[in-house]
């Protein structure tokens, strides 16, 4: 089926799927509220390290003040700027999920939780002078003005995408903390990663329920989102260069994306065991199988090239 035909079919079913999933959303909203901890972001920031910048008579920022490695800096900047773009994500989710009932309650609750992430990462970076605050502010302005636009995907695609995306941010925050060599950053980013994990579980459960309601359509959505997955941070200035730095450091790379993000969800949804797919659903499953093989092969090639490049470089250029 060509793209237009598929979109029409999906668009036709969106309202039905929205109401079919309402009970699942409500159930998962209650589960989430019971599981989520009301943590205090100010308890995670080392305020005593903070000093005024030049505008209030203090020292201007300079690179040697940062104790973070270039790769850790790049990861924190990308993670923070991605979190900063929350108004766009809120707009997209509200457009798809609506603002009424359990769907609307979830959208607002999720937004309130996400808003903590950018504010406390920024506080940490400012008091520790971890990154150039002026460059960060320019990048924030450019990122938020660019916004994030997924083209208003159908509901099932949004659910599949955010499942992968929340898990990707969990892994990315957690690995950045581990790589940072700073226990304060490690504690903060592990805390944020726990939030991202609960968000992932919420969306993962929706997709699981959708697979029972509309298996073929949901499988097509999962496949399309695996094939076309793009980090929402791709609108950030210098994203490509920073993403390479982060991948070379092993904080987030194609191997991690395949092994720790895509495959755990594909296995959880048991997409290769589902019975009763129609012809379109079977085609989606075959496409998914092929896409996973391609991703796995690309991940293997990336890791080989990275290892080769490291042995060719002198030790002083490593890291
Ligand atoms: Fe977040
Ligand atoms: Fe999240």
What is the chain's pLDDT, residue by residue, as a tens digit (319 residues)? 334 334 434 544 677 888 889 999 999 999 999 999 999 999 999 999 999 999 999 999 999 999 999 999 999 999 999 999 999 999 999 999 999 999 999 999 999 999 999 999 999 999 999 999 999 999 999 999 999 998 889 999 999 999 999 999 999 999 999 999 999 999 999 999 999 999 999 999 999 999 999 999 999 999 999 999 998 899 999 999 999 999 999 999 999 999 999 999 999 999 999 988 999 999 999 999 999 999 999 999 999 999 999 888 866 554 4
The pLDDT of residue 15 is 76
* Tens-place pLDDT, residues 92-125: 999 999 999 999 999 999 999 999 999 999 999 9
Q: Are 80 and 132 in contact (CB under 8 A)?
A: no
At residue 44, φ and ψ (nearest 5 deg) are: -110, 0
Reported pTM: 0.93
The pLDDT of residue 304 is 97
The pLDDT of residue 151 is 86
The pLDDT of residue 183 is 97
The pLDDT of residue 316 is 58
Q: Are 66 and 73 in contact (CB under 8 A)?
A: yes
Cα distance between residue 9 and residue 60, in whole Å: 57
- Interacting residues of 87 by C-beta distance below 8 A, sequence separation 6+: 144, 147
Q: How far is the CA of 82 from the centre of ligand 1 (A)?
A: 8
- Interacting residues of 114 by C-beta distance below 8 A, sequence separation 6+: 83, 86, 89, 195
Cα distance between residue 260 and residue 26, in whole Å: 28
Half-sphere CA count of 182, side-chain side, radius 13 A: 20
Q: Are 82 and 231 in contact (CB under 8 A)?
A: yes
The string of DSSP letters for 78-124 reads: HHHHHHHTHHHHHHHHHHHH-SSHHHHHHHHHHHHHHHHHHHHHHHH
Cα distance between residue 91 and residue 98, in whole Å: 10
Q: How far is the CA of 7 from the centre of ligand 2 (A)?
A: 27
Q: How far is the CA of 148 from the centre of ligand 1 (A)?
A: 15
- Burial environment of residue 212 by CB neighbours within 10 A (0 to 12, 13 to 18, 19 or more): exposed
Q: How far is the CA of 196 from the centre of ligand 2 (A)?
A: 4
Nearest 10 degrees: CA dihedral of 215, 221, 226, 230? -160
Owner of token pair 């660019």: 146
Q: How far is the CA of 177 from the centre of ligand 1 (A)?
A: 14
Q: How far is the CA of 199 from the centre of ligand 2 (A)?
A: 5
Neighbouring CB atoms inside 10 A of 213's CB total: 15
In terms of Cα–Cα distance, which of 114, 111, 51 is closest to 79?
A: 114
List residues, by chain if needed, whose CB lies under 5 Å from ion ligand 2. Answer: 166, 196, 199
Q: Name the percent of the chain in helix, strand, coil, to the closest 5.
A: 80, 0, 20
Q: How far is the CA of 192 from the centre of ligand 2 (A)?
A: 8
Q: What is the dihedral sign for C-alpha 92, 97, 103, 104?
A: positive
Q: How far is the CA of 38 from the centre of ligand 1 (A)?
A: 15
Q: Are 107 and 92 in contact (CB under 8 A)?
A: no
Q: Are 279 and 217 in contact (CB under 8 A)?
A: no
Query: 58 in helix, strand or coil?
Result: coil
Q: Which ligand has an atom closest to residue 85 CA?
A: 1
The pLDDT of residue 315 is 60
Cα distance between residue 69 and residue 185, in whole Å: 13
Cα distance between residue 87 and residue 119, in whole Å: 14
Give the CA distances from residue 274 to residues 20, 93, 208, 225, 267, in Å, rounded to whole numbers and listed in that order: 19, 28, 11, 19, 11
Which letter, b or e, does each residue of 52-73 get, where b requires 16 or more Cβ atoms within 10 Å of its Cβ? eeeeeeeeebeeeebebeebbb
Q: Which ligand has an atom closest to residue 117 CA?
A: 1
């Amino acid at each position: 089926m060509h793209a237009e035909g598929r979109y029409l079919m999906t668009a036709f079913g969106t309202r039905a799927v929205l109401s079919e999933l309402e009970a699942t959303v409500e159930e998962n909203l209650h589960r989430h509220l019971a599981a989520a901890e009301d943590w205090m972001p100010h308890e995670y920031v080392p305020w005593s390290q903070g000093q005024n910048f030049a505008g209030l008579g203090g020292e201007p920022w300079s690179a040697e003040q940062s104790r973070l490695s270039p790769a850790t800096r790049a990861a924190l900047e990308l993670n923070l700027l991605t979190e900063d773009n929350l108004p766009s994500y809120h707009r997209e989710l509200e457009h798809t999920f609506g603002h009424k009932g359990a769907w609307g309650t979830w959208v607002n609750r999720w937004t309130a939780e996400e808003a903590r992430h950018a504010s406390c990462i920024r506080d940490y970076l400012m008091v520790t002078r971890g990154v150039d605050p002026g460059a960060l502010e320019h990048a924030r302005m450019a990122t938020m003005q660019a916004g994030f636009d997924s083209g208003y995907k159908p509901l099932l695609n949004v659910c599949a995408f955010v499942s992968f995306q929340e898990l990707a941010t969990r892994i990315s925050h957690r690995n950045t903390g581990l790589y940072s060599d700073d226990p304060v950053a490690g504690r903060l980013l592990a805390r944020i990663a726990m939030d991202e994990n609960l968000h992932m579980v919420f969306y993962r459960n929706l997709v699981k329920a959708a697979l029972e309601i509309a298996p073929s359509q949901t499988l097509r959505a999962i496949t399309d989102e695996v094939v076309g997955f793009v980090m929402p941070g791709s609108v950030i200035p210098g994203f490509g260069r920073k993403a390479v730095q982060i991948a070379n450091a092993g904080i987030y790379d194609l191997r991690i994306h395949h092994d720790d993000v895509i495959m755990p969800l594909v296995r959880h949804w048991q997409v290769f065991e589902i019975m009763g797919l129609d012809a379109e659903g079977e085609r989606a499953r075959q496409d998914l199988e092929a896409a996973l093989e391609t991703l796995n092969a690309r991940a293997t090639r990336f890791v080989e090239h990275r290892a080769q490049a490291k042995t060719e470089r002198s030790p002083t250029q490593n890291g």
